[in-house]
Amino acid sequence: MAAAKKSTSKTPARKPAAKKPAASAKAPARKPAAKKPVAKKVVAKKTAPKAPAKKRTPNPAFMKAMTPSEVLAAVVGALPLPRTEVVKKIWAYIKSNRLQDAINRRMINADEKLKAIFGGKKQVSMFEMTKLVNKHLK
């Protein structure tokens, strides 16, 4: 016969799980399932049919052609342009010359042409840029 090993740990040995009493021949009666409440029918209100969506028209103030100043004309050209087109051309200039700050993409680093537009500032935010550009439009 093999000798039984003694446990070296200091934790006491686990006790076997208590056994459940055997089920008697007669099981207790179960409660009937609770009745679910009947959902009320929701009557949809009749609304007037919606009018077809109208195509949005642009604001005429944005579409008005404005003449850029001499300083701004060096970047966008001398022809009269709407404000929206002026901003698009400035962004094209910024992207082509890689003037957008690499770390903070909201900031624009000005070169010599843009420094004149931005009032001598070396760096402006993109939100401040539109404000400064509007000063150069007549």
- How far is residue 65's CA from residue 80's CA, in Å, rounded to a whole number? 5
Most confident of 26-35, 37-46, 123-132: 123-132
- How far is residue 1's CA from residue 15's CA, in Å, rounded to a whole number? 25
- Domains defined for the chain, CATH in brackets: 62-134 (1.10.245.10)
- How far is residue 30's CA from residue 1's CA, in Å, rounded to a whole number? 53
The answer to whether 113 and 68 are in contact (CB under 8 A) is: no
Instruction: Write out pLDDT tens, residues 90-114.
Output: 999 999 999 999 999 999 999 999 9
The yes-or-no verdict on residue 18 having pLDDT over 60 is yes
| Global pTM exceeds 0.85 | no
Question: Whats the size of the chain, residue-wise?
Answer: 138
pLDDT of residue 11: 63
Q: Which residues pair with 81 in a beta bridge?
A: 66
In this prediction, residue 85 has a pLDDT band, given cuts at 50, 70 and 90, of very high
